[in-house]
């Protein structure tokens, strides 16, 4: 599904601000995998997502999406395959438009023409889809009037509406209060299983990362320092993770073999 091949990203190369954000990362994510990504602040998680989505160009390396080399294709073209949800709930919706207008805009990918797709039949469909998130009576309200949690839930719904093959979630519940965060997370899990999505999710909650999904990746200083899946992942505990992280940080265990034999 997604192949990241020796990708490196340097911000402001050749200046005093030069910053190696992604350091020769290779990663292969298969169709249907649900991957949790953890790592401390500034370790490069968001940057990796930005490189995969095409927000920034890579400094070197290749990105293969769904079998196609997309390294030099613009963000909007990659969006045909990728659905993306940001930490900031205002990023996924247009605040100046109504819920129904947002949904009709999100209902498919690609350039639009002179058709009026929004009709009563669509409205009814939207109402049904909005019921689980309690927004079925807010179709005509501007999205700007919704709370952060409602907006994020709507973003999630809009993202799955246009059938992406893969979704990238970057701490998408971090800006919400605990109640809303739990609701949005439950909804996320529901959609991922319902639409059989390939998903990569950045989270700061280690316990969650261990319990959810079938693969866990830890990043540090622009590198992937841990990549476990299957049974190995099931055997993980937060204590073990912290221990591994500390060991790696102290460079006591530098070899890959050591990392994998948890």
Least Å from the CB of residue 147 to other proteins: 5
Closest to Mg ion by CB, 133 vs 224, is 224
Contact residue for other proteins among 113, 120, 178, 255 (CB under 8 A): 113
Least Å from the CB of residue 119 to ligand ATP: 41
Least Å from the CB of residue 212 to ligand ATP: 18
Closest to ligand ATP by CB, 6 vs 140, is 6
The count of other CB atoms within 10 Å of the CB of residue 118 is 17
Binding to ligand ATP by residue 15, rule CB under 6 A?
A: no
Binding to ligand ATP by residue 132, rule CB under 6 A?
A: no
Binding to ligand ATP by residue 41, rule CB under 6 A?
A: yes
Find, among 67, 41, 65, 53, the residue nearest to 9 by Cα: 53
Site for Mg ion in 28-47 (CB under 5 A): 46
Which of these ranges, 38-46, 57-65, 137-145, 235-243, lies near ligand ATP under the rule CB under 6 A?
Answer: 38-46
Binding to other proteins by residue 57, rule CB under 8 A?
A: no
Binding to ligand ATP by residue 255, rule CB under 6 A?
A: no
Number of residues that bind ligand ATP (CB under 6 A): 11
Binding to other proteins by residue 261, rule CB under 8 A?
A: no
Binding to ligand ATP by residue 203, rule CB under 6 A?
A: no
Could you give the C-alpha distances from 216 to 35, 164, 227, in angstroms and in order? 6, 22, 6
Least Å from the CB of residue 41 to ligand ATP: 3
- Binding partner selected for residue 94 from Mg ion, other proteins, ligand ATP, none, CB under the kind-specific 5 to 8 Å limit: other proteins
């Amino acid at each position: 599904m997604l192949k990241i091949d020796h990708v490196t990203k340097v911000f402001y190369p050749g200046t005093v601000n030069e910053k190696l954000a992604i350091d020769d990362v290779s990663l292969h994510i298969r169709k249907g995998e649900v991957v949790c990504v953890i790592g401390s602040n500034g370790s490069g998680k968001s940057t990796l997502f930005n490189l995969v989505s095409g927000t920034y160009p890579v400094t070197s390396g290749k990105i293969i999406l769904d079998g196609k080399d997309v390294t030099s294709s613009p963000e909007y073209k990659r969006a045909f395959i990728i659905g993306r949800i940001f930490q900031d709930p205002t990023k996924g919706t247009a605040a100046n438009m109504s819920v129904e207008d947002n949904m009709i805009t999100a209902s498919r990918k690609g350039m639009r023409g002179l058709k009026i797709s929004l009709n009563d039949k669509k409205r009814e469909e939207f109402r049904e889809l909005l019921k689980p998130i309690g927004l079925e009576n807010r179709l005509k309200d501007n999205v700007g009037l919704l709370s952060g949690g409602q907006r994020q839930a709507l973003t999630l719904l809009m993202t799955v509406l246009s059938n992406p093959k893969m979704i990238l979630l970057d701490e998408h519940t971090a800006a919400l209060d605990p109640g809303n965060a739990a609701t949005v997370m439950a909804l996320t899990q529901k959609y991922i299983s319902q639409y059989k999505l390939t998903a990569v999710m950045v989270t700061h909650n280690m316990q969650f990362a261990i319990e959810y999904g079938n693969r866990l990746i830890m990043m540090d200083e622009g590198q992937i320092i841990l990549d476990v899946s299957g049974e190995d992942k099931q055997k993980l505990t937060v204590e073990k993770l912290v221990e591994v992280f500390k060991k790696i940080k102290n460079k006591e265990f530098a070899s890959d073999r050591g990392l994998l034999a948890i």
